[in-house]
Amino acid sequence: MPRDPVGYVTLGKTSSPGKAPRSATLGIIWRIGSSDCRRRWVYVLGAGGWRYYYAHLNDVATTLREGQRVTTSTVLGTVGDSGAAETTPPHLHFAVFERYDANGPYRFPALNPLPWLRDRT
């Protein structure tokens, strides 16, 4: 699976628009937002403070709220081509970040989630 320079893994480079990614872990919705580059995105805060990031969503599920508990069956939104991906096929950027420290900086790059995903399939 392709990775970009900050460690995101691009999943479903040829996905059909509208596929519904689910949370990779039990946790809570930590942040929901948008930016020019990644457009619509969701962070799930998992056990031990690990952060799971999903970007280029065409839509975020209307039922999601920050602070909401999620399971691995919780739909986060729909795969798309939002933000800087508008000229590419629909896909999802997925990343796993080190434990969160509210007093410290974000830790980049993201961890390579492929071994983690393989261990859980």
pLDDT at 39: 75
In tens, the pLDDT along 56-92 reads: 888 899 999 999 999 999 999 998 766 555 667 777 8
Which structural domain, as residue segments, surrounds residue 75? 9-119
CATH number of the CATH domain containing 29: 2.70.70.10
Give Cβ neighbours of residue 72 (< 8 Å, ≥ 6 apart).
22, 23, 24, 25, 26
Q: Which helix (H) or strand (E) holds 85?
A: none
pTM for this prediction: 0.76
| Residue 77 within a domain | yes
45 touches 35 (CB < 8 A) = no
- In this structure, is residue 90 part of a structural domain? yes
**Number of structural domains found in the chain:** 1
